[in-house]
Chains A and B, each alone.
Chain A
C-alpha cells in the first residue's frame, strides 16, 4: 500500500508535518513498515481539502486531529 502525503505549502500550513509524524509513528507501532510505503509530494492539486493524502489512487482529506481515525479505517483495516 502506498500512502502519499502532500507536503506543499498549503497542506504544510494545515499541519502536514504532524500528519506525517503521526503516520510514521503509527506505521512503526503497528510494525507495518513492510506493507505500507509512506511518501511525500509537493501538491496534489486539491489545496482547499488539505492535508491531502492519497492511499494508492484514492484521495482523502486528513488533519492532525483526524489522522488516528484515518489510519485505523483506511490503512490498518485494509492492509
Chain B
C-alpha cells in the first residue's frame, strides 16, 4: 500500500497523525512534548546528524500541525533549522569537464565568463556570468551543472531568497501559497500550516451540539486514496463525524453557469477558481485585476449554498490545495467556509482515529455533472464554460479560451494580455502543473490522475450542468 510520493510527506503525515490522535482524546497538552521522541525514538538518527536535531525539527513540525506562527499571515512557512542550506552557486563546471578542444561553452557565452586553466578545463567567472545557462546546454559532456536550491527552482514567482543564516526565506509580498516549494523541498524544510485541530474541535462539538459538519471535497479526490474505493473514503469521512459529503464540483457547475454569463457581458475574463492564480494576478499584474471573474470559487459557491440551506452548518473543504488555506480566511469567504484541510491531512485524520477505509462499506458521492468534475484538471473549466454557453442557448458568443497550467504558462498569457496581444477572450489559470491534480496537498501525483478525473466525470449521473444545478433552485 503506497500512500505518499515522498518520505517528506510521510514524515509530515506522522506528525499530523500523532497530533490528531491526542487531540481526539484531549491529551494533546499532556503529550505534546513526547511527540518528537515517539517519531524519532532511540539514539540512532535516521534523517539528520543526530536524534536531537531530528527532535528539534519535529518540534517545529508539531507547531505547524497546530496552526504554526499566528503572527505570519502566510500559510506557507520555512522551518529554519530544517533548511539544509543547499548549494546555490548557480552554473558551475563539474569534474565531468574533459578539457576538450571544441570549447563550445566559450563560444556560446556572450559575456566572456568562461576561462580555461592549464589543463584546458573550463571555469566560470561569477562576476561576469548572468546564469543564462547556454554553456550548460551546449556542453557535449553535460559537464556544467546548475546548482540551484530546489525550493527556488520550484518557486516560479521568485518569492524565495536566501537569508543571512543561509536558510530559505519567503517574501510574503510575492508568495501565492501554491505549495510548490513545500512539495519540492527534499528536506521538508518548507511546510504549510495545518488547521486539523480546528476541524477536530468542530467535529467533536457537533457530537454534542446541533451544528452539523459538512465535508466539501474537491473533484481531485477521484485520483487520490487509490488504495481504496472512493465510496470507502466517503464512509470514512462519516466515521470521522462529518454529517455528509458534498462535491465541490457542484459548486463548479454553478460557477460555469455564472462565469459564462459574466464572460458574455464583459467580453474578456480570467478565471477565479484557483486562489493562487488570483493572488498571482493581484501581486504581479495589478493592472489586470479588473478582468478577474467576480464569481466565487467552486468551494465558496457550494459552501455558501450549504449555509443558505442550513444556517447552523459548519463547512470543511478537503482538497489538494495549500492556497485554499489562504482563500478561506478572506473576508468574502470566511462566512461560508470554516476550515480547509488537504488530502494528506485527511489521511492523517483517518489513521489518528484508527479508521481503515479499506475495510469500510462503500458510500456514494454524486451531486455534480461531468463538467463540474473535470475542473480538477487543466482545460476542464474552459470545457465547462463552452458547455454552459451552449446549454443556455448563447450562440452569438465565440469562446476563445487560453487554458494555462503552471505559473510559467499563466505568466505568458497574462503578459500577452497586458500588452494586448493575447488572441483569446478567456484565460483559465491554474497555478499547479496539470491543474488541481498537481496540487501540493495531494497524497500522490501520477500520470494516471488526469484519466482518473475524466473517468470520474463520465460516471456522474447528471450529464448536463443545468440538470446538476436544477435541484439548487428551490
Where the two chains meet, the residues of A that have a C-beta atom closer than 8 Å to any C-beta of B are 5, 7-10, 12-13, 16-17, 20-21, 24, 38-43, 45
Whether A17 contacts B467 in the complex (CB less than 8 A), given A9-B365, A40-B474, comes out as yes
Interface residues of B in 360-405 (CB under 8 A from A): 363-367
Q: In angstroms, how far is the closest chain B Cβ from the Cβ of A21?
A: 7
Q: Does B245 contact A (CB under 8 A)?
A: yes
Q: List 18 A-B contacts (CB under 8 A).
A: A5-B474, A7-B471, A7-B472, A9-B234, A9-B247, A9-B366, A9-B367, A12-B461, A12-B471, A16-B471, A17-B462, A17-B471, A39-B474, A40-B471, A41-B309, A41-B310, A42-B306, A42-B310
CB atoms of A12 and B470 under 8 A apart:
no
Q: In angstroms, how far is the closest chain A Cβ from the Cβ of B156?
A: 37
With a CB–CB cut-off of 8 A, which chain A residues contact B247?
9
CA distance A8 to B247 in the complex (A): 10
Chain A residue at minimal CB-CB distance from B365:
A9
CA distance A16 to B367 in the complex (A): 11
CB atoms of A17 and B243 under 8 A apart:
no
CB atoms of B309 and A42 under 8 A apart:
yes
CB atoms of B472 and A40 under 8 A apart:
yes
CA distance A71 to B365 in the complex (A): 28
With a CB–CB cut-off of 8 A, which chain A residues contact B243?
43, 45
Q: In angstroms, how far is the closest chain B Cβ from the Cβ of A77?
A: 22
CB atoms of B470 and A17 under 8 A apart:
yes
With a CB–CB cut-off of 8 A, which chain B residues contact A42?
214, 244, 246, 306, 309-310
CB atoms of A12 and B366 under 8 A apart:
yes
Contacts A7-B472, A21-B470, A42-B244 aside, 4 further interface pairs with beta carbons under 8 A come to A9-B246, A12-B471, A20-B474, A40-B474
Where the two chains meet, the residues of B that have a C-beta atom closer than 8 Å to any C-beta of A are 214, 234, 243-247, 306, 309-310, 363-367, 461-462, 467, 470-472, 474
With a CB–CB cut-off of 8 A, which chain B residues contact A12?
366-367, 461, 471
CA distance A47 to B355 in the complex (A): 21
Chain A residue at minimal CB-CB distance from B467:
A17
With a CB–CB cut-off of 8 A, which chain B residues contact A21?
470
Chain A residue at minimal CB-CB distance from B366:
A9
Chain B residue at minimal CB-CB distance from A21:
B470
Number of A-B residue pairs at CB separation under 8 A: 55
| In the complex, the 5 A-B pairs of residues with the closest C-beta atoms, listed nearest first | A43-B244, A7-B471, A9-B364, A9-B366, A38-B474
CA distance A69 to B461 in the complex (A): 25
Chain B residue at minimal CB-CB distance from A39:
B474
With a CB–CB cut-off of 8 A, which chain A residues contact B471?
5, 7, 12, 16-17, 20, 40
Q: In angstroms, how far is the closest chain B Cβ from the Cβ of A26?
A: 14
Chain B residue at minimal CB-CB distance from A15:
B461
Q: In angstroms, how far is the closest chain A Cβ from the Cβ of B83?
A: 44
Chain B residue at minimal CB-CB distance from A23:
B474
CA distance A21 to B466 in the complex (A): 13
CB atoms of A13 and B244 under 8 A apart:
no
With a CB–CB cut-off of 8 A, which chain B residues contact A39?
309, 474
Chain B residue at minimal CB-CB distance from A13:
B366
CA distance A40 to B363 in the complex (A): 21
With a CB–CB cut-off of 8 A, which chain A residues contact B467?
17
Q: In angstroms, how far is the closest chain B Cβ from the Cβ of A44?
A: 9
Q: In angstroms, how far is the closest chain B Cβ from the Cβ of A60?
A: 17
Q: In angstroms, how far is the closest chain A Cβ from the Cβ of B241?
A: 13
CA distance A30 to B246 in the complex (A): 33
CA distance A38 to B470 in the complex (A): 13
Give which listed residue, A8, A17, A24, contacts B246 with CB less than 8 A.
A8
CA distance A42 to B250 in the complex (A): 12
With a CB–CB cut-off of 8 A, which chain B residues contact A8?
244, 246, 367
CA distance A45 to B243 in the complex (A): 8
CB atoms of B472 and A13 under 8 A apart:
no
With a CB–CB cut-off of 8 A, which chain A residues contact B245?
9
CA distance A42 to B309 in the complex (A): 8
Q: In angstroms, how far is the closest chain B Cβ from the Cβ of A14?
A: 10
Chain B residue at minimal CB-CB distance from A7:
B471
Chain B residue at minimal CB-CB distance from A3:
B474
Chain A residue at minimal CB-CB distance from B245:
A9
With a CB–CB cut-off of 8 A, which chain A residues contact B306?
42
Q: In angstroms, how far is the closest chain A Cβ from the Cβ of B302?
A: 10
With a CB–CB cut-off of 8 A, which chain A residues contact B470?
17, 20-21
With a CB–CB cut-off of 8 A, which chain A residues contact B365?
9
* Most chain B CB within a 10 A radius of its CB, from A10, A13, A17, A43: A43
CA distance A75 to B471 in the complex (A): 20
CA distance A39 to B310 in the complex (A): 11
CB atoms of A13 and B364 under 8 A apart:
yes
CA distance A9 to B448 in the complex (A): 26
Q: In angstroms, how far is the closest chain A Cβ from the Cβ of B238?
A: 10
With a CB–CB cut-off of 8 A, which chain A residues contact B462?
17
CA distance A45 to B310 in the complex (A): 14
With a CB–CB cut-off of 8 A, which chain A residues contact B244?
8-9, 42-43
Q: In angstroms, how far is the closest chain B Cβ from the Cβ of A18?
A: 10
With a CB–CB cut-off of 8 A, which chain B residues contact A38?
474
CA distance A45 to B234 in the complex (A): 14
With a CB–CB cut-off of 8 A, which chain A residues contact B214?
42
